[in-house]
Chains A and B, each alone.
Chain A
Amino acid sequence: MNLNGITGQQQHHEDLSIHVHVIDDIEVFELTGSLDIATSPTVRAALTSASERGGHQLIVDLTQVDFLDSTGLGALIGGQRRAREFGGEVRLVAKEGQILRLLRITGLLKVFSVYPTLEDAVKNGQRVGDL
């Protein structure tokens, strides 16, 4: 599955769909479903591809993700590393719940800027605190 150059379109893989669109020159990946061992390679490839195309700021919206395992976290971390290599950053959107709790307990709020809403992420506004 190749997301090269795709914006405003929907991609489906197993139990995950990825809707990619652009807001204020920021590429936004809205994920719906499970980010796990089956689907994380697609997300990793999509983020890497976006960074290599010159997308400096990327947003991954996790508010519709219902399951996230260590391979999914690995995909997000790999995307962050790649983005930083190109001078960019991956921002996450996560609401209060299991996904945000996982980001907290793993210490990943130190690795990602996490925002409660997509609007906050686009505007680089209010971040989720590291409680």
Chain B
Amino acid sequence: MIDDVIAEGARACVVYRFALGGGDGKPWRERAGCATVRFDERGQIEEWREYEG
């Protein structure tokens, strides 16, 4: 799930949540991450730098 996006020219910063799990009936665990993204002149992702610590 996307929580926040800041877009500025060819760059964007994305804050998101995701779930890890579960397997063997274990519950899914929610984690959070954020990434800075740079797009090329065609609008395709050129760089995706993320942090999920």
Contacts and interface: CB of A to CB of B under 8 A. Distances in A.
Contacts of A37: 32
A89 to B, nearest CB: 11
Interface of B is mostly: strand
B6 A84 contact: yes
Interface stretch (A14-22, A65-73, A118-126): A65-73
Contacts of B51: 70, 73, 102, 105-106
A74 B3 CA distance: 8
Interface in A88-119: 102, 105-108, 110-111
Chain B interface residue bracket vs A: 10 to 19
Interface string B30-53: 011111100000000000011111
A58 to B, nearest CB: 15
A23 to B, nearest CB: 25
A84 B11 CA distance: 16
Interface of A is mostly: helix
A80 interface: yes
A106 B15 contact: no
B49 A74 contact: no
Interface in A44-80: 69-71, 73-74, 77-78, 80
